[in-house]
Amino acid sequence: MLLPSFQYHEPKSLNEAIGLLGEMGGGASILAGGTDLLVNMKKGKLSPKNIVCLSRVEELKGVKRDHGLMSIGPCVTAADLKDREEVKSDFSALAEGAGLLGSPLIRNLATIGGNIVTARPAADLAPPLMVYGARVVLKKTEGERTLPLEEFFLGPGQTSLETGEILCSIVLDSPPSFSGGGYVKLGLRKSLEISLVNVAAFLSLDGPSGPVRDARIVLGAVAPKPMRSSSAEETLIGGEPDERLFQIAAEKAAGDARPINDFRGSAEYRREMVKVLTKKALVKAYEEAKLREWRRWK
């Protein structure tokens, strides 16, 4: 099927891109990796009058570290995230999520910004980003604002991105000492699969053996948007990190989940898998946390 007709724009700077989006109002779509936009256009689900391609906007590429913060450009690909040493060493759950996204071909095209802005409930990068407390920086001609990522998602395919606004960076704080993350995904196939359930976990300990100082659990594909399991987090904080605590927290997470029945799996099965995957993600996070020594980026 042929693409519908549209006007193509290729800005060379962030300011130029923001200016174009401001002029076009709601009649423009942003092209980054194109793994979602072009498919939806071919299917007739989208027919934007204008497409603004970000491939030549250098400000939106790359990963920077400064004063205890990591800033990731929205045009960084999943393949790049998966292979970057600074991501693997400090945000291992994010690197795992990037490595499980689609196929090698898709990972070479799909961007972190696109994975966020499409707001799919089963997206691979949202849960690990949320457990690390990611924030998104949004810009338009009138100014700039920063939001916690969990507040950015409103529902399936819905975000708080305003007309003319562009996601220009994702910001993460340097992880504390004795902290770690884990990401686990369940699909019906080993690759090219949308998650049936995915879970990310983050633990921060008072020392190599605990107790748990802080905890975050994010569930994907079991609610209209990625969701934190507050009851699981409350169970973990202050507890001694062991198999019994992780099992109780996993059961709490399953209770918080709001899965649906569809052709890919029943709500009951998904809820049971939340329990299994949450425990696995917590074990991964704990194994990393008890070995992590403190270091802060300069």
Domain for residue 298, yes or no?
A: no
Domain for residue 108, yes or no?
A: yes
Domain for residue 295, yes or no?
A: no
Overall domain count for the chain: 3
Take residue 50 and report the two structure tokens written for it. 């204008």
The boundaries of the domain holding residue 62 are 58-173
Q: For residue 189, what pLDDT is reported?
A: 53
Say if residue 66 is in the same domain as residue 141: yes
Q: For residue 297, what pLDDT is reported?
A: 43
Q: Which of 193, 207, 198 is nearest to 264 (CA)?
A: 193
Domain for residue 296, yes or no?
A: no
Q: Residue 19 is part of a domain; what is its CATH number? A: 3.30.43.10
Q: Residue 280 is part of a domain; what is its CATH number? A: 3.30.390.50
Say if residue 157 is in the same domain as residue 107: yes
pTM of the model as a whole = 0.92
Q: Residue 131 is part of a domain; what is its CATH number? A: 3.30.465.10
Say if residue 149 is in the same domain as residue 168: yes
Say if residue 97 is in the same domain as residue 191: no
Say if residue 23 is in the same domain as residue 112: no
Domain for residue 294, yes or no?
A: no
pLDDT string in tens for the chain (298-residue length) = 667 788 999 999 999 999 999 998 877 888 887 777 777 777 777 777 889 999 999 999 999 999 889 999 999 999 999 999 999 999 999 999 999 998 899 999 999 999 999 999 999 999 999 999 999 999 999 999 999 999 999 999 999 999 999 999 999 999 999 999 999 999 755 555 678 999 999 999 998 888 999 999 999 999 999 999 999 999 999 999 999 999 999 999 999 999 989 887 899 999 999 999 999 999 999 999 998 865 444 4
Domain boundary among 143, 173, 203: 173
Say if residue 155 is in the same domain as residue 188: no
Say if residue 279 is in the same domain as residue 200: yes
Q: For residue 298, what pLDDT is reported?
A: 40
DSSP class of residue 220 equals: E
- Look up tokens 């052709």; give the residue: 263
Q: For residue 296, what pLDDT is reported?
A: 43
DSSP 195-232: -SEEEEEEEEESSTT--EEEEEEEEESSSSS-EE-HHH
> Cβ contacts of residue 65 below 8 Å, gap of 6+?
71, 86, 297
The region, left, alpha or beta by phi > 0 then psi within -120 to 50, assigned to residue 248 is alpha
- Look up tokens 């990522």; give the residue: 149
Domain boundary among 148, 173, 198: 173
DSSP 82-140: HH-HHHHHH-HHHHHHHHTSS-HHHHHH-BHHHHHHTT-TT-SSHHHHHHTT-EEEEEE
Say if residue 66 is in the same domain as residue 13: no
Say if residue 161 is in the same domain as residue 63: yes
